[in-house]
Amino acid sequence: VLPACLLLALLLLAPALAAQQERGLIFNLEIGELCLQSAQCKSGCCHRASGLSLARCAPKAAEFQECSPKSIYGVYYKCPCERGLSCDADKTIVGSITNSNFGLCQDPQDSSRR
């Protein structure tokens, strides 16, 4: 009888446990939450305003907003572009070292703006 009650309790608690894991303490972080890597954020951008500030999840850059090219570092001063847009920026190693590799998000399909 006890195992049946235990099984019933687990079946009733399963949806609550699954809902709890949709947003975690380490991954699937919402905009504004503290992060260490962009992979932790639902948006895909862990942003810091300055070298001394804490990084927080932020939305990706929209068209005509400042952006950074995607990098392996995982924390950005300017978020990468939303899907479908490209960041027209200095992609050289010097630009990433001097932190001057910012650009503007543009639609690569929009040839009238080139």
- What pLDDT, in 10s, does the model give residues 39-57? 999 999 999 998 899 999 9
CA-CA distance, 105 to 84, in Å (whole number)?
10
Q: What's the CATH number for 25-113?
A: 2.10.80.10
Examine the pLDDT at 19 and tell me if it is beyond 60: no
DSSP string, 53-111: SPPEE-PPB-TTSEE----SS--BSSPPBPTT-EEES--SHHHHHTT---EEEE-TT-G
Q: Give the rounded percent of residues in the chain with a pLDDT score beyond 90.
A: 54
Examine the pLDDT at 17 and tell me if it is beyond 50: no
Examine the pLDDT at 10 and tell me if it is beyond 50: no
Examine the pLDDT at 64 and tell me if it is beyond 50: yes
Among 30, 38, 29, 33, smallest CA distance to 56 is for 33
pTM: 0.70
- What the block records as the tokens of 113 is 């703006």
- Domain residue ranges of the chain, discontinuous segments joined by +: 25-113
